[in-house]
Chain A
Amino acid sequence: MTVQQLFFGYFFVMILALSLVVITRRNLVHAVLWMLLMFVHIAGLYLFLNAEFFAVIQIIVYAGAILVMFLFVVMLLRLKEEQALPIFVRGLHGRLFVGLAILLVLVSMAAEATKGPMGQYSIDYIQRHSHLKVLGTVLFNDFVYPFLILGFILFVPMIGVVVLALKRRSHGPS
């Protein structure tokens, strides 16, 4: 067992354990803060895969933006009564059994997966140029129109969020 495999084992165990901790917390603020630790571990996993841009993006977007949004919403709501209720729905054991069965099938599929034909962006090529330059070249040459559509996809929800967050005073309840 090499050092790389040991480190991968550490990230494997930590990510899975932290995700289980996240979905079983009763207090939502605790869940969000455990999720921060899980995102940092996933960013460390991206560094293994020579994707340092994605490690940075994982920290900035997920840990910086999305988690802060979750924290805002959790702290805006009054959740004292919600936290006294049981955290899981009824019929948990049946769902757990079905989930474990699907998990078994998917893990056996993932363990048997074989690689397809190799592309042209080898590790040497990415290290000679930087990862960000290679990714940007691919993104702005081959995927220009999806990138523009992505800008539209980010723009329309911004309008929708503003419209939904406006409080209608003239009609409607309260």
Chain B
Amino acid sequence: MVPLNWYLILSVMLFMVGLFGFLTRRNMIMLFISVEIMLNAINISLIAISHYLQDMRGQVLAFFVIACAAAGVAVGLVLLIAAYRNKPTIRLEDFDLLKG
């Protein structure tokens, strides 16, 4: 039997990998990919806790997380396309219009 803590450790480490990618890559598409990695880490911990506590509410929450991730990525990528149309780059340093 695999202990619950192993799943939680996997979830935490995967979340930190995603957060590291989010903070250190300079590419906007890699930022969305890192957000996906973080949401997957959350889903692993939700479903593991739901299984070990024998309660279905965690899995319902994971279902909601998957749906919101799909919606969020769609909006983010179309914002990226709209920004690329004005300025043909996806580097984060080039989007500094609000810095003044």
Contact = CB atoms under 8 A, between A and B. Distances in A.
A112 B48 CA distance: 16
A12 B40 contact: no
Contacts of B80: 73
Interface string B78-94: 11111011101111000
A65 B57 CA distance: 25
A89 to B, nearest CB: 5
Nearest to B64: A150
A53 to B, nearest CB: 8
A75 B95 CA distance: 21
Interface string A99-143: 100110011011111011111111100000000001100110011
**How many interface residues does chain A have, given as a range?**
35 or more
A15 to B, nearest CB: 6
B8 to A, nearest CB: 4
**How many interface residues does chain B have, given as a range?**
35 or more
A66 B75 CA distance: 12
B56 A135 contact: yes
Nearest to A53: B59
A3 to B, nearest CB: 11
Given A48-B2, A88-B24, A102-B16, A61 B44 contact: no
B60 A135 contact: yes
A83 B50 CA distance: 42
Interface of A: 2, 4-5, 8, 12, 15-16, 19-20, 22-23, 28, 31-32, 35, 38-39, 42, 45-46, 48-51, 54, 57-58, 61-62, 65-66, 69-70, 73-74, 76-79, 82, 85-89, 92, 95-96, 99, 102-103, 106-107, 109-113, 115-123, 134-135, 138-139, 142-143, 146, 150, 153-154, 157-158, 160-161, 164-165, 167, 173-174
Given A78-B88, A113-B8, 9 more contacts: A8-B6, A62-B66, A82-B27, A95-B20, A119-B54, A121-B56, A134-B56, A142-B60, A174-B85
In the A-B complex, list the 10 residue pairs whose CB atoms are closest, starting with the nearest.
Answer: A119-B55, A23-B21, A110-B8, A49-B51, A138-B56, A106-B12, A157-B71, A103-B16, A19-B17, A161-B78
